[in-house]
Chains A and B, each alone.
Chain A
Amino acid sequence: MTRIVGIDLGTTNSLIAFMKEGQPCVVPDRNGRTMVPSVVALTDNGLIVGDSAKEHLTRNPERTVYSVKRFMGKGLADVQNELAYFPYTLTETGGVIRIRLGEKSYSPPQVSAMVLKELKRRAETYLGESISKAVITVPAYFNDSQRQATKDAGLIAGLEVLRIINEPTAASLAYGLQGKTQGTIAVYDFGGGTFDISILKLKDGIFEVLATNGDTHLGGDDLDRLLVDLFIGQIQEQYGINLSEYSDHMQAVRLEAERAKIRLSDDLKATITIELPDDKGHFTRELTREQLESLAMPVIERTLAPCRMALKDAGLTSKDIDEVVLVGGSTRMPLVRRRVEALFGKAPHCHLNPDEVVALGAAVQADILSGGTTDMLLLDVTPLSLGIETMGGVMSSLIRRNTTIPASAKELFTTYVDGQTGVDIHILQGERELIKDNRSLARFRLKVPPLPAGVPRIEVTFLIDANGILNVTATDMRTGQSQSIDVKPSYGLSDAEVERMIEDSFKFAVDDVNARKLIEARLDAEALLKTTERSLTEAGHLIMADEAKGIRNASSQLASAKDGSDPRTIRARMAELEQAAKNLNVVMLDDSLKKSLQGKKVTEVT
């Protein structure tokens, strides 16, 4: 049987996982890193993805795309008030955002597809087999358009997407696999760009979602922005420099803010250093955890209302929750843990890595679909009510939020005018009364035979499948004939457009692969040369002169290979250098360990 992989396509980082002997594992790269930054950069040598692309954020900000997940299934008007934060250019065609990269424009699914392809390649290299089928995770609160866009991204990347699964429920599968978990659990999933809360009942291998809620536009990104605004304001005040006019510096500030935020989960204070433009020196300040927390408080508070709503919809109170599980990098913040603990009245647990648990769960779901795991079953819900427009601009609900999927509803349509040949149907998603307050999903025209008013009887079936994606079919009740429906998505790519993007992605694939291999090899070589140089400076005196000479020799060999155009030669020279410097690294580690222990009493050490 062909292998199905599980993919966590995240706002900031993405991961790919598979099942090995009944346990899910995340695929690492050759440096042991499991996360691929969801960043795509256009360089002179072509498109690159991941760690190497992340380095272009400050070097080449206009041509480096990050946080593309925020644009999936969206129109330009949806993101108007945050455009200023993104250094790359966004436009809109046919209700879909397009991202300008050099000469070409790409839809968010195309950019996501590049990240998916990178993950696919990584898994193929690691497993030594080709990968064509995947389960991809999305935030539970993603609407139909956002789910469809994710599915399109998979198709463009050459993957058959067998299932779109919700991130918090994926996490619950990973936890559930550990056996003992039974009872009612709350999964609090606070990631880079999205927030979800899901309440589940676990019983005899059935994972029944009782309610879900969230905010698809709330995450760690928002905290970084608050910090960026704070620093920029201070720099303006102190130096009179408006840093927001320098997009390369802005990216450096954003990365520095993110680093400080992450550090403050472990430490009580962090130092921020930002290089100023035009050789004006550096801006330096200290940030305490307390300061970060008072800034972050309003953002964290915004996650609590959805939690209360989900509890209410599940017909439960916080006392009924047996366990709280934390998912997503942002839950590493002590403030988040305190607030979650206060809300549910019990300490949350997170013994699985919150960065990896979603990908692990996706691999479990993949195993269920391939028939490997048969004792577990996930019964998920649709996060938003689905309805159609009726007279007076009011939405008539057909499938309520938190209905277990697959879910279907049937409506009978007829005509008001003699000889009328069509009925226009507008499908929406949301909880509000008026259609203008809800999300338009799609429109279609129902074909009706020309008959006296009220005689035609067309039954339309709205079916939300196990992916949470809507399918519409219609049957003429008089003739029993079904008719095909051409649904026009309000914020999505047409089938023809996706088709063309798949073709394009194959056409350019070969060029891309070669360019990427060379670029990555060069970048890795550069990094290795730099660290080796630093090690020699710091610890060169601790090794024999001959050994140091050998390392220098291997370094210069690599440096000349790096200027060539053969990635394989570069890799070979890198391996030689790594071998030569092996002992140096060991010696250095011992030395730094020794230094860190000096001046401490024995009791502090043990």
Chain B
Amino acid sequence: MLNASMDQQTPESPQPRGLQMARSMCWHCQSAVTGEYFCDRCVKVQPVSKETDYFTCLGFPRRLTLDPKKLEAKFYELSRTFHPDFYQTKSPAEQTISLGNAAVLNTAYRTLRDPIQRAEYLVALETGSVKDIRTSPPAELFEEILELQDTLEAFRSSERDSQEGRELRTVLETEQRGLEQRRQEMEAQLHRLFTDWDQLQDRGEATSPAREERDRLLKHMRDLLSNRTYVTSIVNDLAATIA
């Protein structure tokens, strides 16, 4: 039995903007590193700093509407830069750095490629805390979910092929479609918020109304994201039960 507590993996705390791949010194020749991924002097690959967030790692601003084609192109370009295949003839130290960098790059791309994961990551990054994990239904769904639990219970204890079982299945299937539609609505709403967020960032105002708007957007996205996760898990349960 594992006797340990496991913290949710925490994204790195927020950091000042414009701190690109912050490194002071090349691990190999000890000269100041000015290049992006390699030391200008000795041309050795440099480790991606632990403080580098995924947006910085892939060279994108903290925006929520990213062009997937550009993201992929950048991922491919950086894969060609860091992949261990190209370090086989290099020193063990460089091989280790390449392996670590490639792993970070892969995680960064996986996170940013998916709009929902990207938003969850950005919200965590901006608010400096992990995402909420909802254990009870969101208020607007409370009664519906309670009713659904009862139907599920009845379905589980019924004979699948009986009249009752078939009727309950039909009810559950309708319910599933309803919830899936609800999730799509939430996602559409989220995408509108993503655009709002990006516009706010692009304006770059440092006024207090802008700060209030920022906090409001973050809170709204955070709530919607956790509601969406909750609904998704209910839908998955539902699908597994009636499958």
Minimum C-beta distance from A29 to chain B (A): 30
- The answer to whether A415 and B88 touch across the interface, beta carbons within 8 angstroms, is no
Q: Could you say which residues of chain B place their CB within 8 Å of the CB of A203?
A: 76
Interface pair A410/B3, CB less than 8 Å apart = no
Q: List A residues 419-477 near B (Cβ within 8 Å).
A: 420, 423-426, 454, 463, 465-466
Q: Cα distance A396–B84 when bound, in Å?
A: 28
**A410 / chain B contacts, CB cutoff of 8 Å:** 9
In contact, A377 and B6 (Cβ under 8 angstroms): no
Closest to B72 in A: A203
Interface with A: B98-106, B184-192, B220-228, which one? B98-106
- Per-position contact with A for B82-107: 1 when CB-CB < 8 Å, else 0? 01111011000000000110111011
Which of B99, B103, B106 has most A Cβ within 10 Å? B103
Q: How far is the CA of A425 from the CA of B102 in the complex (A)?
A: 26
Could you tell me the distance between the alpha carbons of A365 and B83 in the complex, rounded to whole angstroms? Answer: 13
CB of B56 within 8 Å of the partner chain: no
CA separation between A409 and B100, bound complex, in Å? 11
Interface residues of A in 367-426 (CB under 8 A from B): 368-371, 374, 377-379, 388-391, 396, 403-417, 420, 423-426
User: Is B6 a contact partner of A413 (Cβ separation < 8 A)?
Assistant: yes
Quote the shortest CB–CB distance from A259 to chain B (angstroms). Answer: 41
Size category of the B interface is: 20 to 34
Question: Do most interface residues of chain B lie in helix, strand or loop, or is the interface mixed?
Answer: helix
Q: Are A396 and B6 in contact (CB under 8 A)?
A: yes
Q: Whole-angstrom distance from the CB of A169 to the nearest CB of chain B?
A: 12
| Interface contact B106-A405, CB-CB below 8 Å | yes
- The minimal Cβ–Cβ distance linking A21 to chain B, given in whole angstroms, is 20
In the assembled complex, how far is the CB of residue A460 from the closest CB belonging to chain B, in whole angstroms? 10
Give Cα A407–Cα B107 distance, bound, in whole angstroms: 7
B1 at the interface (CB under 8 A from A): yes
For A, the interface residue count at a CB cutoff of 8 angstroms equals: 45
Bitwise, A15-43 to B at CB < 8 A (1) or not (0) is: 00000000000000000000000000000
Contact partners of A406 in chain B: CB under 8 A: 84, 99, 102-103, 106
A267 is an interface residue with CB less than 8 A from chain B: no
Q: B5 in the interface, Cβ–Cβ < 8 Å?
A: yes
Complex CA distance for A391 and B76, rounded to whole angstroms: 40
CA distance A377 to B106 in the complex (A): 14
Given that A206-B76, A379-B83, A466-B99 are contacting pairs, would A162 and B3 also be in contact in the complex, using a CB cutoff of 8 Å?
Answer: no
Minimal beta-carbon separation of A207 from chain B (angstroms): 11
Q: How far is the CB of A472 from chain B (nearest CB, A)?
A: 14
Contact B89 A415 (CB under 8 A): no
The verdict on B216 contacting chain A, using a C-beta distance below 8 Å, is no
Q: Give every chain B residue within 8 A of A377 (Cβ-Cβ).
A: 79-80, 83, 85-86
A208: chain B residues at CB < 8 Å are 76
A424-B2, A425-B2 known; A408 and B83 CB under 8 Å? no
Chain A CB within 8 A of B7 CB? yes
Which of B4, B99, B102, B103 meets A414, CB within 8 Å? B4
Judge if A124 is at the interface, Cβ distance under 8 Å. no
Q: Is the CB of B4 within 8 A of A413?
A: yes
Q: Give bound CA distance, A408 to B104, whole Å.
A: 7
- The 8 Å CB contact of A206, one of B79, B102, B109, is B79
Contact A368 B2 (CB under 8 A): no
Chain B residues with Cβ below 8 Å from A454 are 5
Interface bits B1-24 vs A (CB < 8 Å: 1, else 0): 111111101000000000000000
Query: Which of B80, B85, B104, B106 counts the most chain A CB atoms within 10 A?
Result: B85
Which B residue's beta carbon lies closest to that of A423? Answer: B4
Is residue B211 contacting chain A, with contact meaning CB distance below 8 A?
A: no
Q: A371-B89, A377-B79, A379-B83 are in contact. Are A403 and B6 (CB under 8 A)?
A: no
Q: Given A379-B83, A406-B103, verify A412-B88 contact (CB < 8 Å).
A: no
Query: Are A370 and B2 interface neighbours, CB within 8 A?
Result: no
- A313 CB to closest chain B CB, in angstroms? 13
List chain A positions with a Cβ less than 8 A from chain B.
1, 162-163, 203-204, 206, 208, 365, 368-371, 374, 377-379, 388-391, 396, 403-417, 420, 423-426, 454, 463, 465-466
19 contacting pairs across A/B (C-beta < 8 A) = A163-B85, A206-B79, A369-B88, A371-B88, A377-B80, A379-B83, A388-B2, A403-B110, A407-B103, A411-B6, A411-B7, A412-B6, A412-B7, A415-B3, A416-B3, A420-B3, A426-B2, A466-B85, A466-B99
Give residues in B with beta carbon < 8 Å to A.
1-7, 9, 76, 79-80, 83-86, 88-89, 99-100, 102-104, 106-107, 109-110
Besides A414-B5, A465-B84, A466-B99, 16 new A-B residue pairs in contact (Cβ under 8 A), listed by A number? A206-B76, A206-B80, A208-B76, A378-B85, A379-B79, A390-B2, A403-B106, A404-B109, A407-B106, A407-B107, A408-B107, A411-B6, A413-B4, A417-B3, A420-B3, A425-B4
Q: Which 5 A-B pairs have the closest CB atoms?
A: A408-B103, A413-B4, A406-B103, A369-B88, A404-B106
